[in-house]
Structure 1
Amino acid sequence: MTQIFAHRGYSASFAENTMGAFFEAEKAGADGLELDVQLTKDGEVVVIHDEKVDRTTTGSGFVKDFLFKEIRKLNANKKGLKKEQIPSLKEVLEWLQTNNLICNIELKNGLLPYEGMEEKVVQLVRSYGLSNRIIISSFNHYSIVYSYRIAPEIETAPLFIESIYMPWVYAQSIRSKGIHPKHSAMSDNIFTNTMDNGIAVRPYTVNKEADMHRLFNINCTAIITDDPVKAIRIRKQYENRL
């Protein structure tokens, strides 16, 4: 059965990468979450997608230039009535101890190098006893390899924006148990071959019904979607076939 990961939480209807969006994803019945992490000026791991706070919060400037206590004052729910803080990764991991969700932590270190980010994330995941429910992903594959080296017990998965030749061979070569490709970048054949070679395939960001049908049809490992409610509704059509 294809798992459903809520992309930045239930971001189709709630402020992305906030505790509210994560709570609602769990309520909706998602199997897992996808979230993004950056580091504040004082080295706190915080959950936000962009390198700057401008798009998703009431503030402006780079995440790396805010102290944790400063970034917590921003409202990460610009359009909603209820104020939402930018969560710390600690806060999310603490909450994950109360449920069974899988969590894909994307390291946002492609543009900014964020010294020590991998160690900080690994140490937090271990301290909350969640190593078996976390997947670390990144477009920065050097970071993925480094994460595996320091924590071989935590699953890793490289992110891809374009197709690559025999992605299962590449994944095996860097000791990753999965790949997270852009859903439109690879054919069904490549996806099924990858899974047949023991590598999980979790494409992003799958929001259109036709794309969901395509991936449920080949029994893809998981999909990463902004709308877990829609995905669960469509997945029900496939449940009787298995």
Structure 2
Amino acid sequence: MTQIFAHRGYSTLFAENTMGAFIEAEKVGADGLELDVQLTKDGEIVVIHDEKVDRTTTGKGFVKDFLFSEIRKLNANKEGLKKEQIPSLIEVLEWLQSNQLICNIELKNGLIPYEGMEEKVIRLVRRYGLSERIIISSFNHYSIVYSYRIAPEIETAPLFIEGIYMPWIYSQSIRAKGIHPKHSAMSDAVLVETMENGIAVRPYTVNKDEDMQRLFKINCTAIITDDPVKALRIRKQIQNKS
């Protein structure tokens, strides 16, 4: 059965990458979460997608220029009534101990090469005993390879915006157990062949009904979606038909 990962939490209805969005994703029955991490000026791992805080919070500037204590003062629920802090990765991992969700941690180190990010993330994952439930992904494939080298027990999955030739061969060459392609970048045949070669396939960001149906029908490993409720409904419809 295709798993459903809530992209930045239940982000169609709640502020993305906040504890509120993660808790709601678990409540509605998502199988997993996808979230993004970056480092503050004083080296704390925080959960936020953009390199700048401007779009998703009440602040302005680069994540890397804020101290942890400063970034925690911002409201990450810009449009809503309830204040939400930018979570620390520690906060999320602590909470994950109370449930069974799988968590895809995306290292946002394509534009800014955060020093020591891989070690810091891996140290925390191990400290909370979550190695079996974490997938580390990134568009920075050097970072993925490095993560595998220091923590071969934690699954890695490169992110792709474009299709590549025989992605299973590439994945095997960098010891990745999965790939996270843009949902429109690879054909059903390529996705199926990748899975047949033992590589998990979790396309992102799958929000349209027809895209969900297509991926559920080929029994994709997982989909990453902003709307886990819609995905759960469509998955159920397809199961009932088969």
TM category, shorter: over 0.9
1:237 corresponds to which letter in structure 2? Q
What is the TM-score normalised by the length of structure 2?
0.99
Structure 1 distance, partners of 2:241, 2:211, is 18
Unpaired segments of 5 or more residues in structure 2? Answer: none
1:234 corresponds to which letter in structure 2? I
Partner SS for 1:113: coil
Number of equivalent positions = 242
Q: CA deviation at 1:239?
A: 2.1
2:237 corresponds to which letter in structure 1? Q
Identity of aligned residues (%): 86
1:62 corresponds to which letter in structure 2? F
- Given the alignment of the two structures, is residue 106 of structure 1 paired with residue 106 of structure 2, yes or no? yes
Give the aligned partner of residue 153 of structure 2.
153
Give the aligned partner of residue 142 of structure 1.
142
Unpaired segments of 5 or more residues in structure 1? Answer: none
Give the aligned partner of residue 55 of structure 1.
55
Structure 2 distance, partners of 1:26, 1:210, is 24
Give the aligned partner of residue 95 of structure 1.
95
1:91 corresponds to which letter in structure 2? E
Matches within 5 A, 1:108-123: 108-123=108-123
Q: CA deviation at 1:238?
A: 2.2
Partner SS for 1:194: helix
Give the aligned partner of residue 77 of structure 1.
77
Q: CA deviation at 1:6?
A: 0.1
Structure 2 distance, partners of 1:174, 1:149, is 10
Give the aligned partner of residue 220 of structure 1.
220
Structure 1 distance, partners of 2:158, 2:209, is 25
Give the aligned partner of residue 68 of structure 2.
68
Q: CA deviation at 1:241?
A: 5.4
Give the aligned partner of residue 43 of structure 1.
43
Give the aligned partner of residue 178 of structure 1.
178
What is the TM-score normalised by the length of structure 1?
0.99
Partner SS for 1:105: strand
Q: CA deviation at 1:69?
A: 0.3
Partner SS for 2:42: coil
Q: CA deviation at 1:237?
A: 1.4
Structure 2 distance, partners of 1:117, 1:142, is 13
